[in-house]
Amino acid sequence: MTQILTSRDGTPASRLAFGTMQFGGRANATQSEAMFEASLAAGITHFDTAHAYTGGASEELTGRLIAPHRDRLILATKAGYVGGSTRENILKTFDISRQRLAMDQVDILYLHRFDDDTPLRETFQTLAELKQRGLIRYVGVSNFAAWQVMKAAWVASEFDLAIDILQPMYNLVKRQAEVELFPACADQGIAIAPYSPLGGGLLTGKYAAGGSGRLVEDQAYASRYAPDWMHQAAVGLQKIAADVGIHAATLAVAWAARHPAGPTPIISGRSAEQLAPSLAALDVTLDDALYTRLSALAPTPAPATDRLEEA
């Protein structure tokens, strides 16, 4: 089990997190506020945004909505998606993020992705300084491979700093994180907040019904979820959902949260209505039989050593 992060007043992170990537983009201000209020009412205490989201509108809306509840909520943002993880870029973009959020401090600052071109010592010395100044409380990394997480943790330790949380992709048809990332985090006590538990909407079943969304509108998502077996898994999920009387999206999110490493999936949506089935997963704990049945819809990735007979 990985560690549970807390807010400034000691409130623990909720079982699910809410991602504001859609704020100011596919979700307008009214829709964004409705989703935020629905998340609060359901017990969500962990909210996630990024410097790179929707040209800054996401951070602006997130900051305004969180402000009245600041001390009891965990607020995360990210730096380095564009421009790398140099000292200059982190400081510049984080200053912009804090201005957008109208907050001096964030709880979690993630490196949005691994930067091959910047020495990790430069990056983590910068993050250590931000933490020493009280501008961040936790350090996170996103889209890192396991070896990159461990290398980053080793370098960070030189500055009396730890990697507190990892944000990888993870859902029923994207299970690579199970191979090394989850075991590494469990071993090191690193919290896990995986994104895309619905696979860009694939696992809701809406595309099979002719619906629209990222897999139709965004070529990167279309390519990511192109394999036919993934779509067949989504069809199988719909059948199980009908059998057990639980929405497919609820099952998909509950499945992602059920892993023994204790991940906190990041849910999102375009409207409160669309978000509701994901929020419902807060009240669903899969038993072993249903978890196994759902897991069988997609291939279990081979162990890191590829010794299948030992799996």
Q: Give yes or no: 53 in active site.
A: yes
Amino acid found at 80: G
CA distance 127 to 123: 6
Q: Which residues are CB-neighbours of 143 under 8 A, at least 6 positions away?
A: 112, 113, 114, 167, 168, 169
Could you tell me which of 42, 24, 2 has the C-alpha nearest to residue 267? 42
Q: At what angle do helices 272-279 and 29-42 cross, to 10 degrees?
A: 20
**Residues identified as active-site:** 53
